[in-house]
Amino acid sequence: MIKDKIKTDLISAMKSGDTQKRDVLRMLDSMIKNEEIAKNKRKEGLSEEKILEVVGRAVKQRKDSISQYKNGGRNDLVKKEQEELDILAEYLPKQISEDDLRKIIQKILRKNNIKSSNEFGKAMGVVMVEVRGKADGDMVKKIVEEEIEANL
């Protein structure tokens, strides 16, 4: 389980003196506990899928911060956020390549007969269920838009 791996890696980071990894994993563990409390699942814990969603949110936060820090010229903070992002990425499933993602999206659009930009929301919903945790939402959005535009 991911939660067990996080706890094991946290203990290892504390023993080895890796303060950055320790701090990131503590933050992630707290996010998971907060989600368990919010969902009233403290005793039984979250499912693997829900834990992946929490990790995904943490990754998205880092990506957003990196973008903002780059725009602000804060390369010191970009470096820190990127290092945290690298640590968090270890707990996500392997990401789908852009080419493979495009093929999956094309197949889903054909299967569901989605050809209009009016059906963008429907397309995103179906695609995200298929690739949840394995692809970045922004990349999915970009490719879905491109593929729907190509079908017009």
Q: What is the pLDDT of residues 64-74, one digit of tens each?
A: 999 999 999 99
Q: What fold is seen in the domain 98-151?
A: Arc Repressor Mutant, subunit A (1.10.10)
Q: Where in the chain is the domain with CATH 1.10.10.410?
A: 98-151
Residue percentage of the chain with pLDDT more than 70: 99
Question: pLDDT tens, 77-119?
Answer: 999 999 999 999 999 888 888 999 999 999 999 998 888 888 8
- pLDDT surpassing 90 at residue 28: yes
Rounded to 5, what percent of the chain is helix, strand, coil?
Answer: 80, 0, 20
CB-CB neighbours of 11 under 10 Å: 12
Superfamily of domain 2-89: Uncharacterised protein YqeY/AIM41, N-terminal domain (1.10.1510.10)
Q: Where in the chain is the domain with CATH 1.10.1510.10?
A: 2-89
- Over range 29-54, report the average pLDDT: 91
Burial class (CB in 10 A: 0-12, 13-18, 19+), 87: buried
- Over range 35-53, report the average pLDDT: 90
Tokens at 84, concatenated: 């945290």
